[in-house]
Amino acid sequence: MFKNAINYNAVLYAVLMVAAMWLGFLLQNLGWFSGCSGAIIPLSPYGLKGIFLSPFLHGGLEHIFGNSVPIFVLIFLLFQFYPFIAKKVFFLGWILTGFLVWLLPSIDIYTGDYNQVCIIGASGIVYVLAFFLFFSGVFRWNTKFLTVSMVVALYYGGLVWGVLPEELFSHLAEPSRISWQSHLSGAVIGIIMAFMFRKAGERKKKYIWEFPNYYSEKDDKLWQQYKENHPEDFLELPYKKKDNVWEHLDEIRKNG
């Protein structure tokens, strides 16, 4: 029963994405991608290819480990519970988030200075999926999808702080290397797609008794058949005629 409940495509896509990330990380360490090659460089034409390549590149083992687990879990949840729109959400979210990151210049929030940065990692996709899964359940208001929303909120609710610059919460000796722009872009795109696709595919079931005036005798075949076979049950019942006091007036006078 449990085997039949699992969508094996959900496992397959999750495994393939994580495997591709580790392959990219391996090639990166072998020198295939050096410097800003393959990274998103905001507002630079050279950095546009990073929209497609940057999720496969990471700054170290801690970075890729930190993205591998949530990527696997969130992709699995997406394809398991939203198979009808999973590919659209995943690939559209990936591209739109990367493009939005490319459009957002890296500006020091205290000095206003522009810093040219190279952005790598799959955290933008993590935020797309997490925010889509949470808000999709809220927008649909469906028990099953709301359960998924609660699971995401329970395990990844802390992601919400990542949409803000790290400098707001701690005093850093140097600018943070965490791209809050990627997180913010992913969150925004995830919410927008959750709203756009709120009516796509499986929706909340509405049972017949939830509709006004759902019952009609004419549609009840068993009831109609019973009435035909037992007409005596529906004859008008005898009743006592109401007394007319004027008819008993003489009798009342005698007794009085």
Structure tokens at 11: 């496992």
Share of residues in the chain with pLDDT > 90 (%)? 28
From CA 211, how far away is CA 205, in angstroms rounded? Answer: 12
pLDDT tens figures, 39-51? 888 888 888 998 9
pLDDT tens figures, 192-240? 999 998 887 665 566 555 556 666 666 677 777 877 887 777 676 666 6
From CA 149, how far away is CA 133, in angstroms rounded? Answer: 6
Q: What is the pLDDT of residue 15?
A: 95
Neighbours of 122 (CB within 10 A): 28
Structure tokens at 118: 């190279």
Note the helical H segments in the chain: 2-5, 8-29, 50-53, 61-81, 86-103, 123-140, 143-156, 180-196, 221-229, 249-255
Which long-range CB contacts under 8 A does 166-172 form with residues at least 24 apart? 167/109, 167/110, 168/109
Q: How far is CA 145 from the centre of its chain?
A: 7
Q: Which residues, 6 or more positions from 123, have their beta carbon under 8 angstroms from its beta carbon?
A: 67, 162, 179, 182, 183, 186
From CA 13, how far away is CA 76, in angstroms rounded? Answer: 7
Alpha-carbon distances, residue 237 vs 62, 211, 223 (angstroms): 85, 34, 20
User: 1 or 203, which is more confident?
Assistant: 203
Q: Considering only CA atoms, which of 64, 42, 47 is closest in space to residue 55?
A: 64
**Domains within the chain, CATH numbers bracketed:** 2-196 (1.20.1540.10), 217-255 (no CATH)
- Give, as one character, the DSSP assignment of residue 174: S
pLDDT tens figures, 92-135? 999 999 999 888 877 665 566 666 788 888 899 999 999 999 99
